[in-house]
Amino acid sequence: MTAARVGEILANNERPVSFLQNNLTIELSTIAATFEAGVEKFALLGSSCIYPKFAA
């Protein structure tokens, strides 16, 4: 599983809590559904966007 909602650096800076809440809700729902379906292995991938502080 990878992030469900992503945005460019400006969107991430303007609405960090919204992005986190949406992704956690989707991830928790997916984890619960896989458990209920009897899935034995589940991979959760994490990533982040990294830009220089003063990038244009």
Q: How far apart are CA 11 and CA 15, in angstroms?
A: 6
Residue 48 is predicted with a pLDDT of 61
Entry pTM = 0.66
Structure tokens of 23? Answer: 């992704």
Residue type, 39: V
Residue 50 is predicted with a pLDDT of 61
What are the tens digits of pLDDT across the range 25-41? 988 999 999 999 999 99
What are the tens digits of pLDDT across the range 7-27? 777 887 888 888 888 888 988
Q: How far apart are CA 39 and CA 56, in angstroms?
A: 44
What are the tens digits of pLDDT across the range 45-56? 866 666 666 766
User: Could you tell me the sign of the dihedral formed by the alpha carbons of 4, 10, 12, 18, in that order?
Assistant: negative
| Residues whose CB is less than 8 angstroms from the CB of residue 12 and which lie 6 or more positions away in sequence, other chains included | 19, 49
Residue 10 is predicted with a pLDDT of 80
